[in-house]
Amino acid sequence: MPTHSTTSRAHDIPADGRSDFNFFFGNWDVSHRRLQRRLAGDTNWDVFGGTCEVRPLLGGLGNVDDNVIELPDGAYRAATVRTFDPATRQWSIWWIDGRIPLTIDVPVRGAFVDGVGTFLCEDVFDGRPIQVGFLWSEIAQNTARWEQAFSQDGGATWETNWIMEFARRP
């Protein structure tokens, strides 16, 4: 007698964008470059390492990562929670800084087009309204790149202030 399986097969996943972050599941070494001062005309970058562990949530409609970020002045933990809305075909991404765990950043929202993920939101930085952009690119089986940029002029110009290069751990 045939039975119905509750496990999902790769060919059963709708092609609506919900699997766009599946490449990211697993364990990663991370090379960080972070601008020392944001929106201040600074050109000095801190370079440091870290690790990231990513797993799915919500039956494929979300995922979470747990990060160790090794800043020059001391390491801290952080997490990202991502959820997918099948109705809009968009992802929402929230950042949680372990140094201030009672605060969750405003989510960026967006999607992948031709292998590049673009995610945006309105936020405030140092009392000024800004736009925040996340860009996922250069995605391959064992590597990926993430960038964060701020705009204080409605998106006419952007300052990239954090870059993460991911290398899959063996």
- Name the percent of the chain lying above pLDDT 70: 93
Phi/psi class of residue 58: alpha, beta or left (left: φ > 0; alpha: ψ in -120 to 50)?
A: left
Query: Residue 50 and residue 91: Cα distance in Å, rounded?
Result: 24
In a domain, 3, yes or no: no
Average pLDDT of the chain is 93
Domain annotation covers residue 11? no
Expressed as residue numbers, the domain containing 134 is 18-168
Q: Is 164 inside a domain boundary?
A: yes
Amino acid at position 134, single letter? F
Query: What tens digit of pLDDT does each residue of 65-77 get?
Result: 999 999 999 999 9
**Is residue 4 situated within a structural domain?**
no
User: Can you tell me which residue has the tokens 């697993």?
Assistant: 26
Secondary structure (3-state) at 23: helix
Total structural domains in the chain?
1
Yes or no: say if 109 and 134 are a contact pair by the CB < 8 Å rule: no
Instruction: Classify residue 6: in a domain, yes or no.
Output: no
Residue 91 in any domain: the answer is yes
- In-domain check, residue 127: yes
| 12 — pLDDT class (breaks 50, 70, 90) | low
Residue for token digits 């925040």? 132
> Is the confidence at residue 2, as pLDDT, over 60?
no
- In the DSSP assignment, the letter for residue 150 is E
Residue 71 lies in a domain: yes
What is the Rg, in whole angstroms, of the alpha carbon atoms belonging to the chain? 17
pLDDT digits (tens, 9 = 90+) for 76-116: 999 999 999 999 999 999 999 999 999 999 999 999 999 99
CB 118 within 8 A of CB 135: yes
More confidently predicted of 26 and 60: 26
Pairing outcome for strands 45-57 and 26-35: antiparallel
pLDDT at residue 14 in the model: 74
CATH of the domain at 162: 2.40.128.20
